[in-house]
Structure 1
């Protein structure tokens, strides 16, 4: 009897990038214990969310991420046409997400951030550094989407105007400094110190939280919530990070403070997903490991 060897087809670039984006969203959701966020323990400050819903939402976005990456590869350059294509695909992906979640916004911010990044990653040259991917994504974010329908201001936009903070759009237009200057360096520092991967990722989230003007927190809890998040995250890192006993005590105090204020760092969670995506993208691009 002759054995037949099945050869799996090689994934296209768009498929690989969509896989990375969905994987980053799922791993962000699974990471535990995240302060006041959905994780394996429960729903945090989000009574309408669950880990299962976050999984379903992430998987629903695979086609949109695939098509965004394919659009970037086909365009081969940053221009208004690509920006508008990504905008249209992002809106279609959001509609699919809302259909799956019953109208609950699970990943709107992540569609914006990761959509730009998969489109940018598909058009950079071989052995490019992730900083170039972020730069190209920033160039796309600065272009006007003339096809975007007129909408009422989002919660994030109202918060941005009220408090004079940057918001998700400005974060993308600046090249995701929350991920490149804070999340990724902390992730690598913790790994280099021998910290287990789960704690290294938690430390990366805390490094993002310590400096981000998170519009999700501001919307729910104002400046008091923002101070609680930033000061509490810094305290965990100063105590030695989430892998230490003192750090875990500080992390628990941070979570209790955020839950009391009904504040959830959703913007920081989106940037953790960006951090994980860029971290895993680097070896795929073939750039020197550890380069930014």
Structure 2
């Protein structure tokens, strides 16, 4: 077991995870997703509920950071502790939302990333952070129940790996697509909101989003991927042509009842990784 850093170094991680979820929810205009304009393709969600859900997950994320600090290394004991904390966080979420699944996929992705960051608080570059999270994700959780979730239904029907496979592979949709577009748009002076929209679109253009597959099948997935790429090809969300394409994508996904919730979860992961990579985890807790 390697030497551990002091607890104050990891305290902000839960804050950053919750902030990433709130920033993702607030980002507008997102195609067919809950945002400041409305409910997107959802009848049971709204922005206030997304905020409340994010805040309710703070204890779970803090517990995951603490567990990583206490265990100090990647292994089955930490993986199973994270699984239990994730299930407790999901129960807190469902109590807060009245049974609505707002952030199940995000608990998985951000929980792994929080733990990976807490294991080495001074080594949180994007690539090494994702690699540690992937190593945790590939370990089995012997206590995990095996319900037939939407993701498992889609995996059986279409062969899409979903959130689990994405994490086990080291978050390629984030590292290879979302994060580069986020930073390229910033460097081009497009503004933070447009940069985040471009990151979301880059993830949507490549991801086999199981939320979309469950709701709208391969037709919905193709509409999401080709429509998102069309926005980027037209100049991104900061351009007039790109905004027109974005509106068309929003209307198309709404017509298909196809909400890219998997891409939204990965955008939150992207924002979290970006903050850590830029050193925001080293700030003092509020």
Pick the TM interval, shorter chain. Answer: over 0.9
CA contact (8 A) 2:209 2:263 kept: yes
CA contact (8 A) 2:9 2:281 kept: no
TM-score (normalised: structure 1): 0.92
* Matched pairs, number: 277
1:116 aligns with 2:112: yes
**Cα 1:177–1:98 shift into 2, 3 Å:** same
CA contact (8 A) 2:9 2:121 kept: no
Between the aligned partners of 2:27 and 2:147, the Cα distance in structure 1 is: 33
Gaps of 5+ in 2: 1-5
- Select the residue among 179, 201, 208 that pairs with 2:203: 208
CA contact (8 A) 1:128 1:285 kept: no
Between the aligned partners of 1:30 and 1:206, the Cα distance in structure 2 is: 16
SS at match of 1:95: helix
- More contact order relative to length (CA 8 Å, sep ≥ 6): 2
Once the two structures are superposed, the pairs formed by residues 213-252 of structure 1 within 5 Å of their partners are 213-252=208-247
CA contact (8 A) 1:134 1:176 kept: yes
Q: Deviations over 1:170-219 (max 9, x none)?
A: 00000111111110000001011111110000000000000000000000
Give how far 1:283 is off.
2.7
Give how far 1:166 is off.
1.9
**Cα 1:56–1:125 shift into 2, 3 Å:** closer
Between the aligned partners of 1:53 and 1:116, the Cα distance in structure 2 is: 23
Tell which structure's C-alpha radius of gyration is larger. Answer: 1
**Cα 1:53–1:252 shift into 2, 3 Å:** same
**2:150 alignment counterpart:** 155
Between the aligned partners of 1:125 and 1:260, the Cα distance in structure 2 is: 44
**2:268 alignment counterpart:** 273
Once the two structures are superposed, the pairs formed by residues 52-63 of structure 1 within 5 Å of their partners are 52-63=48-59
TM-score (normalised: structure 2): 0.94
The alignment's C-alpha RMSD in Å is 1.5
**1:28 alignment counterpart:** 24
